[in-house]
Each structure stands twice: as structure tokens, then as C-alpha cells.
Amino acid sequence: MEILEPQIKRGFTPHQVLILSFLVLISLGTFLLALPFSTNGPNLSFIDALFTSTSASCVTGLIVVDTGTKFSSFGRWVILLLIQLGGLGIMTYSTFFILFFTKKLSFRSREIVQQTISSTPYSDIGSLLKSILVFTFSIEALGALILSFRWWFQFPFKKSISLGIFHSVSAFCNAGFSLFSTSLVNYRSDPLINLVMISLIIVGGLGFMCLLDIKRYILWKDWEKKRMLTLHTKIVLVSTAILLGGGMILILLLESGHSLKGLTFPAKLLISFFQTVTPRTAGFNTVPIGGLTNPTILLLIVLMFIGASPGSCGGGIKTSTFSVLIALFSARLRGRERVHLFSRTLPQETTARAISILVSSVLVIFVFTLGLMVVARGGGGRGLFPEVLFEVVSAFGTVGLSMGLTPHLSTLGKVLIIMVMFIGRLGPLTVAIAVGESKEGVRYKYPEENVMVG
């Protein structure tokens, strides 16, 4: 056994700081939502306040009480603030204000923001944060303006404004919270609301580095020396297009004679596309999820598990991880050692991390599905497997879609879902690394020996 040089770490690691920032945000949100003036009628219980705060901070959208009727105006604004802070990450905002007031940023803060937003080094963190915040608020403002104008024809002016702002922020942050008791079911055939919400969800789920790369590509002045899109951006765009297009066609075929029966073809197409977009961690729905066929439910579970893209407001294992795994599988089938995508060779560290993310994610879903099955209906939960699996994957992918199980969860069941939402927002690997990291330790290197696999 070879003893390597010990590594000494002082203070909190970036992973631990990220987790602590979310814990602080969730705790503050729980306190505010438990206040008497945050709700209409009886106060929220501690567990319901904690569940709602976690769901909003982790931009999930699962609810145990109706958001539009249970919460007062103050309570709804608290939820909206939690969504906004949780969507971009509270460290993004805090780092921006540190730079704004002090003009200085420690190496540790740079490292934290770097791991939150981008996988590659970025020289000017201040400029990057400014671009992200300006872009976010601009897109949310545009979405709020269009939605408010649409709802102005149906509701009083003040209410239409609040509806527009709330749903625009919730959609861009891929949160899935709605002020309507049936989400957007009543607007399933409204093209304006559907297209605006779809656009906000997709843009919010692409990832900020991808969006900035697209912006640079479009605004590049010298077309003879046009800067090409990065490999990451290409993977995200292509995988997103394939998932959305393929998902829409499958839902259209599976539900045409069921939940979409009797509707016009344009309405079927619109609903199918919306329900393909929303499992990308958004959580809105225009048809009752519990009324969908089992094949469609399975498809939604797969889409929720894949989720959005890295550096975005969404969860899941991410589209790029899924693409790397497919490329790895294809390479192994062809007997190739190296993994290639778009005429580029992927580092072995990238493929190893993709495998680790897949294994850890499946393990988390298995453990919590098993746990929720045990506590469901007094310890049996027989007959609830699709609902429980759907609930856990929805929480892990920070999606927010539900087959109706969430409001009926026991206290222990709510605690389990809270844990899944938290792990899903930060990523199972981030949580595991943060828990396992020690301030001081010795690394060992053991002799190698091969084993038979497969």
C-alpha cells in the first residue's frame, strides 16, 4: 500500500457552502411561511411550511396545500422570492452584491460560483454574474408583461399583474408553482399562454453558459472568423431538440385516443408539446397527470429523470450527462475505447463522472421509493408503486408534477420527499462529496487487480 501526501483543507469546502446556503434559505422560508399573516385561515404546520419552503427554494413545485388559495399575498411573495433565489442559487446573488459593494471577491467565492454556474474557468466572474442577472430579469419581465396582458382580459388589472409576474418567474426558474388550483389545465388550448410558458421553461432549462455562448455566436461581427459554438452548447441544443420532438410525438400517439380524445389536432399538438416540455423540471400541466395512460406516465418519468441542462434552474441528471452516457454506450458497442461527440474526444473523467451521476441518482431514487412505499398507507403501499415512483422521480428532478399523492403524504412521507427535493436540487454527487469531505486526511493507493464484469 502506497501512502500519498496528506491533503489539508481549512474552512468549508465549496460544496459545503452551497449546501449551507440552501439550508439557510429553506430555514428562513419556513419561518416566514409559518407566520400567521402568510396564510389565509389556520397557520401552516411546521412540516407543511418546511415542505413548501423546500419545494420553492429547490424550484420543485410539489405542494401539500393549494398555493393560490391557502397563502396570503405576503405568503405568495415569499414563495416567489424563494423561487427566484433558489432558481439561480443564493450564492449567485450574494456574490454579485459582494462585488457590487466591495469590488473584491475571494478565491473561495470564485470557486463556489464557478462550480454553480460553469464547468470551465471564467476570468471575469463579475461580468458573468451581471450578464446572468440582467438576462434573467429581462426574460422574466418580458414573460410577465405578455402574460399580464393576456390575463387582463379575464381578471382585474392588479390580479393580472400578480398572475403574470408569479407565473413568469416560476416558469423561467422551472419551479412549477401556479396560483391556479388546477395549474394551467383551464388554458390548455390557449396558444399565447402555452407558447409563452413553453419558451420561458425551455430558455430557463438550457443553462446560462449555453445561452451566453449562443449570444456570442449570434452577435459575432466577423463572419469570416465566426466563433463556433462550444461542444457543451451543441450537446445541449441537440439533445434538447431530440427529447422535446420525440416526446411530443410519443405523447400525441399515446394520448390521442385517451386524454386528448375529442380535441382538434392543433390542440392535441399544443398539449402534447407542453407536456413534453414541462417534465424538464418545470412542473406545470395542462392535462390531469393522474388521468394519463401508463405508457405516458413511464415516458414522463424518463423525461423527469433526464431533466434540464447543467448550469440552469432545472434538475435531473441533465441532458449533457444523458448524451455522454449514450455516446459511451455507442462507443462500447463499436469496440471503441474513446468516446466521441461532434468530432471531439471526451475526457475519461467526464465519462466517469457521468456514470457516477447515473449510479448515484438511480440509488437515491431506489432508496427513497422503497422508503416511501414502506410508509405509504401504514407500511404496505401495495398498488401505489406508479404513484410513489412518479412522486420520487418528480422530487429528485425538481419537477413538481404529481399523480395526486403529495397532499395525502404522512409526516414521514413529507420528510422523505423534502430530502429528495434537496438532494435533487444540489445533485447527489455534490451532497455526497460535501458530507464525505474532511478538513484533514490521508489518501491511500492500493495495488491494482482486475475482476470479471458483465
Q: What is the pLDDT of residue 124?
A: 63
Q: Is the dihedral of CA 157, 274, 318, 407 positive or negative?
A: positive
Q: What is the pLDDT of residue 7?
A: 46
> Length of the chain in residues, anyone?
454
Q: What is the pLDDT of residue 111?
A: 58
Contact present, 367 and 393 (Cβ < 8 Å): no
pLDDT tens column, 12-33:
666 677 788 889 899 999 999 9
**Residue 446 φ then ψ, to 5°:** -95, 160
Which SS3 state, helix, strand or coil, does residue 3 take? strand
pLDDT tens column, 257-303:
898 988 999 999 999 999 999 998 888 999 999 889 999 999 999 99
What does each C-alpha distance from 230 to 345, 432, 435 come to in angstroms? Answer: 13, 30, 33
The domain limits of the chain are 9-445
Distance CA 150, CA 172 (A): 18
> Among 398, 422, 419, which Cα is nearest to 409's?
419
Helix 411-426 crosses helix 385-396 at what angle (to 10 degrees)? 40
Q: What is the pLDDT of residue 384?
A: 81
pLDDT 10s per residue in the chain (454 long)?
Answer: 444 444 444 556 666 777 888 898 999 999 999 999 999 989 999 999 999 999 999 999 999 999 999 999 999 999 999 999 888 765 565 555 555 555 555 555 555 555 555 555 555 666 777 788 888 899 999 999 999 999 999 999 999 999 999 999 999 999 989 999 989 999 998 999 999 999 999 999 888 888 888 888 887 755 555 567 889 999 999 999 999 999 999 999 999 989 898 899 999 999 999 999 999 888 899 999 988 999 999 999 999 999 988 878 788 899 999 999 999 999 989 888 889 998 899 998 889 889 989 999 999 999 999 999 888 765 555 568 889 999 999 999 999 999 988 888 889 999 999 999 999 888 776 665 555 554 445 566 678 777 776 6
What pTM, to 2 d.p., does this model score? 0.88
